[in-house]
Amino acid sequence: MDFQKEAIKNQEKILRQFAEESGYNNISIYADNGFSGLNFNRSAFKRLNEDIFAGLIETVIVQSISRISRSYLDAPEWVNNICGKGVSFKSVSNDLPDTDVDETINPLYQLINDYRIKQKRRNRRTK
């Protein structure tokens, strides 16, 4: 089994465990193995959106916000959009607080993004 498949398998295990421990029992996994997170043009992500907008999903649980998108602009916008539809968003890694209030996402995510950028710059300088 290659590294990418094993990583996705491990993420699914973590998400299932978190969901079950949090009392969620109707769990669906949307995984886009082998697709870039730099855009939303991914089949499972499209299915996720369709299910959200059809009213089939109450809560989206991700390991990290980066699993939605690698774009620091697109990810919070997407989260705001689903929260506006009444869908809660939870991040297992706690890189964002559990929320269903869209006004909290952008400022908090911007702080996280700023911190990450500073860390990357600091890491580049030490190499």
Q: How far is CA 73 from CA 23, 26, 56, 67, in A?
A: 31, 30, 26, 14
Query: Domain containing 7: what range?
Result: 3-126
pLDDT digits (tens, 9 = 90+) for 36-53: 666 677 888 899 999 999
Write the pLDDT tens digit of every residue in 63-115. Answer: 887 788 777 667 777 888 888 888 988 888 765 555 544 455 556 666 666 66
Number of structural domains, the chain? 1
Instruction: Check which CATH number belongs to the domain holding 80 and give it.
Output: 3.40.50.1390
Torsion of CA 79, 41, 11, 116, to 10 degrees: -60
Q: CA–CA separation, 126 vs 121, rounded Å? A: 9
- In this structure, of 8-12, 24-28, 70-74, the range with the lowest mean pLDDT score is 70-74
How many Cα atoms are found within 13 Å in the side-chain-facing hemisphere of 83?
A: 19
Q: How far is CA 84 from CA 14, 61, 105, in A?
A: 27, 16, 11
Confidence band, pLDDT 50/70/90 cuts, at residue 59 = very high
Q: Which residue has the tokens 């990583």?
A: 7
C-alpha pair distances (Å), 35 with each of 11, 104, 109: 16, 29, 24
How many C-beta neighbours within 10 Å does residue 67 have? 21
**Cα 24 from Cα 44, distance rounded (Å):** 20
What global pTM score does this model have? 0.70
